[in-house]
Amino acid sequence: MYLLLIYVEEAISINVGSLGNLRFDRGLYAYVGSAQNNVERRVARHLRRHKSLFWHIDY
């Protein structure tokens, strides 16, 4: 299990796949994920700028 803390400096609207456009106000957001085998590799994937958009957090 891992925790991503994401700080949004100013309000932003993002297209989140099938969820459509979502607005995120300024603030701190937390995402809890699970990585069954290799948590380091999963976190490294989240930190990459260019990746295929697969999970909702990828958007």
Question: Residue 36 and residue 13: Cα distance in Å, rounded?
Answer: 31
Question: Residue 18 and residue 39: Cα distance in Å, rounded?
Answer: 26
Q: What is the pTM of this model?
A: 0.60
- What pLDDT score was predicted for residue 33? 80
Taking Cα atoms as reference points, which of 21, 26, 28, 22 lies closest to residue 7? 28
Number of structural domains (the chain) is 1
- According to DSSP, the residues that pair with 30 across neighbouring strands are 5
Domain that holds residue 21: 2-58
pLDDT, tens digit, for every residue of 23-46? 999 999 998 887 777 778 777 877
CB 59 within 8 A of CB 17: yes
Please give the residue that has the higher pLDDT: either 3 or 39: 3
